Structure 1
Amino acid sequence: MIEQLAVQARGVADDLSASELLASIKASRDLEHAEAARQLGLAAAWADLHPPESIHDAASFTVPGCEHEEPIAGEGTPLVAEFCVAELGTVLGISPTAAKKLIGHALELRHRLPRLWAQVHAGRVPAWRARAVAETTIHSTPSLTAEAAGFVDSQVAAVAGRIGPAQLDRLVAETIKRYDLATADPTADPEDGWQHVDPRHVTVDTDDVHYAGTLHLEADLDIADALDLDRAVAHHAAVRKALGSTESLDVRRAKALGDLARTQTALDLLTGGPGTDRASGPHPETRRQDRADSTDDRPDLPAAREVVIHAHFDASVVGEQTVFGSTGRMENGQRLVLLDQVRSWCADSRTTVTIKPVIDLNAQLTAQGYEIPDRIREQIILRDRTCVFPWCTRPARGCDIDHITAYDHHAEAEGRPQPGSTITDNLACLCRFHHRLKTHSAWNYRMTAPGVFEWTSPHGHRYRRDRSGTTALDPPAPPGIQRPRRR
């Protein structure tokens, strides 16, 4: 369908003049904004159809680094049943988190930012601008009252939503100060005013691995800590250069940060131990002399690097030697990784290396009872790679192992055959949310082939999930209409 539309668009564009082409593009964009506004309205209507049975069943966001959860919209908005989010997300082909945001933004705009909501549906403000405002007012710290959110609404609506992120942050800060929201927090320092919020954090994005084998790190530190860290990184980078490293300053600073995380490796760099870059380390004679005093001779010291990396490479046996392929797959981030990279990681000083035996993903493994042995668990994790719910990307190692057909704990005592045996073909990886969804709602699924799953939603929508991703199958036929048979 998409390819047909693309071909039709190219055919139409060939027949248009420059002026007509511009007008057509504008009309297309206007239609896009109108549909985005309509989608917000439909998301709010979907939420209205699904109130939670109790506050404990309401959809919410888990706050990283904290033990509490945040509601999907601000004070005064209706609560939404958490499981209804999954069906909306799968129909749209988005994650449950993205579906929560869509519903939360719709409710925030309709109930707490009504002026902006009206402008969106009048076509004066694009939905994406209004959603950016809603995202800010929902997750403001401290939380905005309905009255405070109304003040933000009046200010933003006055400029038809044309407000940048920095201006919006200043507006929210002024609103917090105007309505004395910071001092209402018993943990806040009254002399700090609205600035009591502590922004310090260190975040390593382990889900987004660059093809070069790097991860993104972001941090907000205390000024003194940040300056100390900057000086330490600069010093270690300078030491590397003095020892003969020809790498760029950015690379040396990045390696210096790793040295700080592995103080033993940094010591080896200075003493010419195993962690020293052979191309940039001290003179070979000096290195050999220092190696005699290397910390590798101290078995009582803990390993400097204990990071667990699950990398998978194809291997073949040539004669009596095992030959690995040059590229493999790394579970951390689901990216390709070079064999040379893994070798360099393992070559660092006092790195603990664990080699696990090869697991045949096609073998049928069975266990007695309900508990899943480690060998079967590992096989299912390697087979599925992620949670097998449609469009979910949660890594399998953080998931539960689910019995697709439920295990009957009373079958043996009552002399009945076990319907949900602990066997490879009856197990799959599900993240905790989708495990609960499958257990406590009308969602169901089955395995049609090893690692291939077919899901059916409470409203009859079907999805196929395999290693390549998710495919939406034929939607349910409208009531009273019989779907024609395929030949």
Structure 2
Amino acid sequence: MIETLAGAPGAEVEDLSASALLASIRSARSDEDAAAARQLNLAARWADLHPPESMHTAATFGDGGRYGLEHEEPIAGPGCPAVAEFCIAELGTVLGISSTAAKRLIGHALELRHRLPRLWAQVHAGAVPAWRARTVAEATIHATPSLTVEAARWVDAQVAAVAGRVGPAQLDRLVAETIKRHDLDTHDPTSDPEDGWQHVDPRHATLHSDDVHYAGTMRFEAELDIADALDLDRALAHGAETLAALGSVAPLDSRRSQALGDLARTQTALDLHTQGSTAARSEDGLPIAREVVLHAHFDASLDGLDGLETVFGPTGRMEEGQRLVLLEQVKDWCRDSRTKVTVKPVIDLTAELTAPGYDIPDRIREQVILRDRTCVFPWCTRQARACDIDHVIPYDADADTEGRPQPGPTVTSNLAPECRWHHRLKTHTAWRYDVTGPGVYEWTSPHGHRYRRDRTGTTRISGAADDAAPPARP
């Protein structure tokens, strides 16, 4: 196979000079920036086609309407138009991204077009890449307190003057200065007019639970008060030295990371101890500091449970966050006297469980959660345990009393987890889905795009004709 580069059609890679390679790479980047700018423009146009007045009255859900009907969704700052919320899902599935990511894309497009017009123009002139402009839009959308149109335009002028070349720290300071300059914090009881520093508090401690490394680690990010940061640094340095003195040969950064976990477990144990907890205690007398629940999947052909190697293989899965966990980590947890490890057998996922009536018993709910793991809407990653359990074919509360067969029984094959937002989407719009196998679903969008969702993820089955009209709503 002959590899070609953008900007050099048909040219073999080995025949290109260094200058030609650089020119091709630059051309590819320009094409990428132009495509991203066009995608922003198209996202804004998609929002234009779905204003709040485009919403139709939907049927009330059978449980009394607690899921609510479609409403207008403000997804950018003041002064930007709202959109009919359910249009977001169609755009997201076509792009192969989650509804949350699609909402962010539309919000950034509207924020740039309506509140940051200079930056919007620079993006479409090729002077500022779309990703950089979207970073600014994200900051102005979520500023606290909210930026007025005038305040956002001031940020726009400052950023446009430097062609969007501002880093995260500079952008935070610019937004904070904007809030102060436009007197947006005058009603903030925590603001100090004598203080020359902005009142915006940048401190945070954030666990990035979706950013899981193949080695079984997660990223924890924090912005601390200077004194707190220095204290924590000293504690981690001391913990790392202690681990080394006890024989650890791990690199310094690894030992500092482990020391941070030790601090957390120690604090948890102390909290339980000082509260007079009657919880189970470890061999050293302290309360259990950590409990990890593993759902272990056993092969029906196994005669016994003679070792974790047979049960887990090299890795296991923590249901919470869909995280992989290494076998060595499980062994470490088991060896820690302050860790309580509970291994629970998985319900037989092949069995067809049934229950009378509409309510879903815990045993069936657990089976569906373990089978599907996440919300089954295309590209949604919300954990199934945090989802509603939906009757794929709706349950008819009047069927039994009227002597008709129940069209939507409470059985495993007619149930699927859906996050609240996508549950409402399925209930009140023309989105439809069918079960084609255990844990396999085929969705059809209002515009006729079709997707298959199973335990491995989402697959696009087919698109729709360019002139396809949306189906009538139920």
Task: Give the TM-score normalised by the residue count of structure 2.
Answer: 0.82
Q: 1:138 aligns with which of 116, 129, 141?
A: 141
Higher relative contact order (CA 8 A, sep 6+): 2
- 434, 458, 462: which one aligns with 1:470: 458
Partner of 2:31: 31
Q: Decide whether aligned partners of structure 1 residues 264 and 471 sit closer, same or farther in structure 2, where only a CA change above 3 A counts.
A: closer
5 Å-filtered alignment, 1:83-232, equals 83-192=86-195, 195-232=198-235
Amino acid at match of 2:204: H
**CA deviation vs aligned residue, 1:45-72 (integer Å, no higher than 9, x gap):** 111122236998233xxxxxxxxxxx42
Question: Quick one: which of 288, 291, 311 aligns to 1:306?
Answer: 291
Match of 2:322 among 320, 329, 334: 334
Mapped partners of 2:80, 2:268: distance in 1: 53
Cα distance in 2 for partners of 1:48, 1:265 equals 51
1:355 is displaced (CA, Å) by 2.5
CA deviation vs aligned residue, 1:364-403 (integer Å, no higher than 9, x gap)? 1111222222222222112112111111112222222111
Q: 1:117 & 1:344 partners in 2: Cα distance? A: 52
C-alpha distance in 1 between matches for 2:201 and 2:176: 14
- The correspondence for 2:387, drawn from 382, 386, 399, is 399
62, 72, 76: which is aligned to 1:58?
Answer: 72
Q: How far did residue 443 of structure 1 move?
A: 1.0
Instruction: Report the counterpart of residue 410 of structure 2 in structure 1.
Output: 422
Q: RMSD value over aligned CA atoms?
A: 3.3
In structure 2, list runs of 5 or more residues that go unmatched. 56-68, 271-280, 470-474
Pair 1:264–1:166, CA change in 2 (3 A):
closer
Among 372, 375, 385, the residue aligned to 1:384: 372
Larger Rg: 1
SS in 2 for 1:13: coil
Structure-2 residue corresponding to 1:484 = none
Distance 1:480 1:224 in 2: 62
| 1:12 paired to 2:10 | yes
The residue correspondences of 1:224-263 to structure 2 (distance < 5 A) are: 224-263=227-266
Structure 1 unaligned residues grouped into runs of 5+ = 60-70, 268-293, 482-487
Aligned length: 440
> CA deviation digits over 1:327-347, x for unaligned, max 9?
233134434433332122122
Rate the CA distance shift 1:7–1:40 in 2: closer, same or farther, 3 A.
closer
Aligned identity (percent) is: 70
Residue by residue over 1:3-42, the C-alpha shift from the partner in whole angstroms, topping out at 9 and shown as x without a partner, is 9997999971229754666555544443333332222222
- Bigger drift between 305-314 and 5-14 goes to 5-14
Amino acid at match of 2:33: H
Alpha carbons of structure 1 residues 130 and 442: separation in structure 2 relative to 1, 3 Å = same
1:369 to 333, 342, 357: 357
Shift of 1:314: 5.3
What's the offset of the Cα at 1:83? 1.1
Show the counterpart of 1:459. Answer: 447
Decide whether aligned partners of structure 1 residues 211 and 315 sit closer, same or farther in structure 2, where only a CA change above 3 A counts: farther
- In structure 2, how many angstroms separate the alpha carbons of the residues matched to 1:386 and 1:295? 34
Q: Which moved more, 1:130-139 or 1:20-29?
A: 20-29
TM-score where L is the length of structure 1: 0.80
Output aligned runs, 1:444-455, within 5 Å: 444-455=432-443
Q: Which runs of 4 or more aligned residues in structure 1 lie more than 6 Å from their structure 2 counterparts after TM superposition? A: 3-11, 264-267
Distance 1:192-1:349 versus aligned 2 partners, 3 A rule: farther
The amino acid across from 2:41 in the alignment is G
1:440 match: 428
Q: Give the corresponding residue for 2:66.
A: none
Higher mean alpha-carbon deviation, 407-416 vs 189-198, is at 189-198
Query: Helix, strand or coil for the counterpart of 1:306?
Result: strand
Output one character per residue of 1:186-221: Cα deviation in whole Å (capped at 9) or x when no partner.
Answer: 553333466222223222222222222222212223
Distance 1:208 1:157, change over 3 A: closer
- Flag the 1:200–1:7 CA change in 2: closer, same or farther, 3 A: closer
Provide closer, same or farther for how the CA distance between residues 22 and 216 of structure 1 changes in structure 2, counting only shifts above 3 A: closer
